[in-house]
């Protein structure tokens, strides 16, 4: 009987622990503005991972007045995809202590994809670090949360 109670308490505790980790990780969700101010990124959670999509562009149209396309993509088949709606951040996993890792970030300015880590400095500020190989060989951009007016 005591063994059953101990097991039940352990299961309940692990469930609570997983729940609180999930909620803490969800602090990343929302609308973010990279330092360039050229885009707004909406970060969502899908199947336990975090993704960010371009939902606004300061200049959504090209010189011909048409939607800007992903013209710099290394993959020619993706060059006809519009930037608005493009999935910029992929596959991030919450690691605890305000850090998300194991994801990638796409840079439409040069058409390259980089390994990436995200660190939350406070509730409204992110350090988004893209890199090749080791994190030391990269650059960090500071993103600010955009408050949604109700």
Please list the residues that pair with 115 across neighbouring strands.
104, 131
Q: Tell me, yes or no, whether 141 lies in a domain.
A: yes
Q: Tell me, yes or no, whether 51 lies in a domain.
A: yes
Q: Tell me, yes or no, whether 18 lies in a domain.
A: no
pLDDT, tens digit only, all 150 positions of the chain: 554 444 433 333 333 333 334 589 999 999 999 999 999 999 999 999 999 999 999 999 999 999 999 999 999 999 999 999 999 999 999 999 999 999 999 999 999 999 999 999 999 999 999 999 988 889 999 999 998 777
Distance CA 1, CA 82 (A): 62
pLDDT of 112 reads 95
Closest CA relative to residue 88, chosen from 130, 35, 139, 137 = 130
- Domain hosting residue 140, numbered range: 28-145
Q: Tell me, yes or no, whether 23 lies in a domain.
A: no
| DSSP character string of 90-137 | EEEEEEETTEEEEEEEEETTTTEEEEEEEEEEETTEEEEEEESSSTTS
* Residues 144, 33 contacting (CB under 8 angstroms): yes
Give how far Cα 73 sits from Cα of 41, 70, 82, 90, 96, Å: 19, 6, 11, 16, 33
What CATH number should be reported for the domain holding residue 139?
2.40.128.520
pTM for this entry = 0.82
Closest CA relative to residue 89, chosen from 62, 75, 72, 107 = 107
The total number of structural domains in the chain stands at: 1
Enter the tokens of residue 83.
């930037």
Distance CA 32, CA 28 (A): 9
């Amino acid at each position: 009987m005591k063994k059953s109670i101990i097991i039940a308490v352990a299961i309940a505790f692990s469930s609570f622990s997983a729940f609180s980790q999930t909620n803490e990780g969800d602090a990343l969700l929302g609308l973010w503005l990279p330092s360039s101010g050229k885009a707004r990124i909406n970060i969502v959670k899908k199947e336990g991972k975090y993704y960010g999509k371009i939902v606004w562009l300061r200049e959504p149209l090209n010189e011909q007045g048409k939607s800007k396309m992903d013209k710099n993509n290394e993959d020619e088949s993706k060059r006809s995809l519009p930037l608005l709606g493009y999935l910029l951040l992929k596959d991030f996993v919450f690691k605890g202590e305000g850090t998300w890792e194991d994801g990638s970030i796409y840079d439409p300015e040069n058409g390259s994809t980089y390994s990436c880590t995200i660190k939350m400095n406070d509730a409204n500020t992110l350090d988004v670090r893209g890199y090749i190989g080791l994190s030391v060989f990269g650059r960090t951009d500071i993103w600010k949360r955009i408050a949604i007016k109700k």
